[in-house]
């Protein structure tokens, strides 16, 4: 039976981590515990919003949190994060240059990249093999059944990419074009609704649909068991979701948190992490050590120049309230058909 | 004897099928070879092994049972007393109290969760000025559960007694019982089925509450519903099906045992 205890003092012996489910190899945790003599507590959340609500409410003490890139700025503004101490993160040199100094956190002041997934088009070979283009979904023909991700930024972002725009645009004319395109898309006979990764994955495994918009990592986890399900990155470009590691301002054990981050940035640990999560690693040194299965999937690591030439867009926080309202309005209309 | 109309019987079976088929599917899929619940790929018991090796599930199960048992105990005592009070006294305050009791039942979970989170934050702010602080965890979750359980217990107990009037106690007093005796020998035995039903309801509510628990727990105190619900992001693994199957098994056995114990004995 526990008793109400004051906030744990920084004893340097307990690391509290707040993370997505199935996103940390237990063996990595075990090794870190043995190496440091510390105890690691992993708590899980299912959405960035729920995570923020809990942190802002106070009462839950964590050292290390794993938010998606587009909420890092929100957390900075809310005064939740402390700047990272570079001197304690020598392994930062392992991160591929294209993932350093990102738009969502200039100079990596508060965050380092953890794992990412581009958003791709998934299919079941035994049912249908698509071209690697968003035209499969957004094109004029209506012969294929498909599911879209249940996420406004992903769906509107994909439409924008197909039209040749940035997935973070605030341009009204571009957004209008995307809105009209999406209106036509969800009116298609082939449109089977919105779903999350696990739902879309199961529909593809059960051969109920031709195509699904999905985070690459959420599909690959099934490809090893059933090689028929595959995923491609559309040639028009796509969105990319980066999850990051941040240290909370109220962290009782920031030194231990830094040590854990540095461990996760190690080449071998980074590879083990991806082998466990099926998400891609931003760790360049880890890539040669990935399982052969993962190395053989082109969709896992988009071409490096895709980030530079704007084909691949991080989902960023929108520039202003007006843009936010436009996205909200488009999404509400799509969902309330 | 009236015969049940065949249509009515068929309808009843349909209703039962609708209720129990999903549970059956879950049990079947806990023995499925595949990691994904999309297709049957073969029989295996490996997920039960995986489940046994999961320390996080063990910890969550422990937390869940601790909170459920203790909160049920506390809320049953407090709720029973509240229910008796509501039954016994007639006053203008009673109507107000009745309304207050119904509120936790009708307020949406998410509102209650955020409300309690803010309440604890306010209390913490006050304590911090006095140089003391606390982290959310076992006690904050326990208190939150008791908060909504009391209403259910009180209303169950009151409705159980609603057929009796104050003359019940008066008669007991006329026959020479003290206030204590009339409570223990007359009122409580009559209310007992309501108390038990309320306690079972409270226990169940605590066992499967997610929203309020998520907001009022701190770090390192996850319950099973929180653990399972947060798994939806990447997909619930079959070892969670195995866990659910075991929980269902325990529940069914408990109900059968309770039924056997409560069955009136035949007179010899």
Each residue's pLDDT tens digit, B113-138: 999 999 999 999 899 888 888 889 99
Give the pLDDT of residue B58. Answer: 92
**Which position has the higher pLDDT, B250 or A31?**
A31
Cβ pair A158, A239 in contact under 8 A:
yes
Distance from the Cα of B248 to chain A's closest Cα (Å) equals 24
Digit-coded pLDDT (tens) for B158-172 = 999 988 888 888 899
Q: How far apart are alpha carbons A14 and A26 in whole angstroms?
A: 16
**How many other CB atoms are there within 10 angstroms of residue B197's CB atom?**
16
Q: Is the pLDDT of residue A1 over 60?
A: no
The two structure tokens encoding residue A105: 């956190």
**Which position has the higher pLDDT, B37 or A324?**
A324
Give the pLDDT of residue B268. Answer: 45
pLDDT band of A7, cuts 50, 70, 90: very low
Cβ pair A111, A72 in contact under 8 A:
yes
**Residue A140: C-alpha distances to residues A106, A188, A309, B258 (Å):** 40, 10, 27, 64
Average pLDDT of the segment spanning A268-287: 96
Q: How far apart are alpha carbons A10 and A15 in whole angstroms?
A: 10
- Local structure of A169: helix, strand or coil: coil
Quick check: B140 and A18 CB within 8 A?
A: no
Give the pLDDT of residue A120. Answer: 96
Quick check: B234 and A22 CB within 8 A?
A: yes
Give the pLDDT of residue B73. Answer: 97
Q: Is the pLDDT of residue A6 over 80?
A: no
DSSP secondary structure code for residue A152 in this structure: H
Digit-coded pLDDT (tens) for A208-242 = 999 999 999 999 999 988 999 999 999 999 999 99
pLDDT band of B10, cuts 50, 70, 90: very high
Give the pLDDT of residue A103. Answer: 87
Average pLDDT of the segment spanning A250-254: 94
Give the pLDDT of residue A2. Answer: 38
- In chain A, what residues touch B215 (CB-CB under 8 Å)? 53-54, 57
Alpha helices in A57-122 (DSSP H): 72-77
Average confidence score pLDDT of chain B: 90
Digit-coded pLDDT (tens) for B58-71 = 999 999 999 999 99
Average pLDDT of the segment spanning A106-126: 96
Q: Is the pLDDT of residue B245 over 80?
A: yes
- Return the bridge partners of A16, or none: A41
pLDDT band of A9, cuts 50, 70, 90: low
Confirm or reject contact between B204 and chain A (CB < 8 A). Answer: no
Digit-coded pLDDT (tens) for A175-219 = 999 999 999 999 999 999 999 999 999 999 999 999 999 999 999
**What are the φ/ψ torsions at residue A135 (nearest 5 degrees)?**
-60, -25
Closest partner residue to A60 among B219, B235, B237, by Cβ? B219
pLDDT band of B1, cuts 50, 70, 90: low
- In chain A, what residues touch B231 (CB-CB under 8 Å)? 21-22, 44, 46
Give the pLDDT of residue B265. Answer: 61
- The string of DSSP letters for chain B reads -PPPPHHHHHHHHHHHHHHHHHHHHHHHHTTBSSSSTTS---B--HHHHHHHT-HHHHHHHHHHHHHHHHHHHHHHHHHHHHHHHHHH--SHHHHHHHHHHHHHHHS-HHHHHHHHHHHHHHHHHHHHHTT----SSHHHHHHHHHHHHHHHHHHHHHHHHTT--THHHHHHHHTT--HHHHIIIIIHHHHHHHHHHHHHHHHHHHHT--HHHHHH--TT---HHHHHHGGGGT---HHHHHHHHHHHHHHHHHHHHHHHHHSPPPP-
**How many other CB atoms are there within 10 angstroms of residue B108's CB atom?**
9
């Amino acid at each position: 039976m526990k008793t109400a205890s004051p906030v744990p003092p920084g004893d340097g012996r307990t690391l509290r981590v707040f993370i997505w489910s199935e996103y940390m190899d237990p063996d990595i945790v075990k090794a870190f515990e043995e190496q440091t003599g510390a105890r690691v507590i992993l708590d899980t959340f299912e959405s960035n919003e729920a995570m923020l609500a809990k942190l802002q409410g106070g009462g839950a003490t964590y050292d290390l949190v794993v938010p998606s890139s587009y909420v890092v700025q929100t957390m900075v503004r809310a005064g939740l994060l402390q700047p990272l101490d570079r001197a304690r993160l020598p392994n930062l040199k392992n991160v591929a240059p294209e993932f350093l100094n990102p738009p969502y956190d200039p100079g990596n002041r508060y965050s380092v990249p953890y794992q990412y997934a581009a958003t791709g088009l998934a299919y079941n070979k035994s049912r249908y093999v698509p071209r690697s283009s968003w035209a499969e979904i957004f094109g004029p023909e209506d012969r294929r059944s498909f599911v879209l991700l249940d996420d406004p930024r992903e769906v509107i972002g994909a439409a924008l990419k197909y039209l040749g725009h940035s997935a973070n645009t605030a341009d009204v004319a571009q957004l209008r074009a995307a809105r009209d395109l999406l209106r036509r898309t969800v009116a298609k006979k082939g449109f089977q609704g919105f779903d999350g990764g696990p739902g879309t994955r199961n529909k593809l495994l059960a051969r109920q649909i031709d195509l699904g918009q999905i985070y690459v990592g959420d599909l690959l986890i099934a490809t090893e068991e059933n090689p028929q399900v595959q995923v491609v990155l559309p040639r028009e470009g796509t969105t990319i979701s980066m999850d990051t590691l941040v240290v909370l301002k109220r962290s009782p054990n920031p030194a231990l948190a830094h040590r854990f981050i540095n461990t996760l940035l190690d080449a071998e640990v980074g590879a083990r992490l991806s082998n466990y999560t099926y998400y891609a690693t931003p760790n360049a040194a880890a890539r040669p050590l990935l399982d052969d299965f993962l190395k053989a999937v082109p969709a896992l690591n988009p071409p490096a120049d895709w980030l530079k030439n704007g084909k691949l867009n991080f989902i960023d926080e929108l520039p202003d309230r007006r843009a936010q309202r436009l996205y909200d309005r488009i999404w509400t209309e799509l969902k309330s058909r | 004897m009236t015969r049940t109309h065949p249509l009515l019987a068929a309808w009843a079976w349909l209703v039962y099928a609708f209720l129990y088929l999903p549970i059956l599917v879950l049990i079947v899929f806990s023995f499925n070879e595949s990691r994904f619940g999309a297709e049957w790929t073969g029989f295996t018991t490996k997920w039960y092994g995986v489940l046994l090796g999961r320390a996080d599930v063990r910890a969550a199960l422990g937390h869940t049972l601790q909170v459920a048992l203790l909160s049920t105990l506390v809320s049953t005592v407090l709720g029973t007393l509240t229910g008796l009070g509501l039954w016994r006294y007639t006053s203008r305050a009673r109507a107000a109290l009745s309304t207050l009791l119904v509120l936790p039942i009708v307020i949406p979970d998410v509102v209650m969760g955020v409300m309690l989170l803010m309440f604890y934050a306010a209390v913490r702010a006050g304590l911090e000025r006095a140089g003391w602080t606390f982290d959310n965890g076992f006690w904050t979750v326990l208190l939150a559960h008791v908060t909504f359980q009391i209403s259910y217990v009180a209303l169950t107990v009151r409705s159980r007694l609603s057929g009796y009037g104050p003359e019940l106690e008066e008669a007991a007093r006329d026959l020479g019982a003290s206030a204590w005796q009339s409570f223990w020998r007359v009122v409580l035995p009559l209310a007992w089925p309501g108390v038990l039903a309320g306690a079972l309801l409270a226990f169940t509510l605590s066992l499967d509450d997610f929203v309020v628990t998520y907001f009022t727990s701190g770090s390192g105190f996850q319950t099973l519903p929180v653990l399972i619900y947060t798994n939806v992001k990447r997909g619930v693994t079959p070892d969670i099906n195995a866990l659910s199957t075991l929980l269902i098994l325990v529940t069914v056995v408990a109900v059968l045992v309770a039924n056997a114990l409560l069955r009136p004995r035949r007179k010899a």
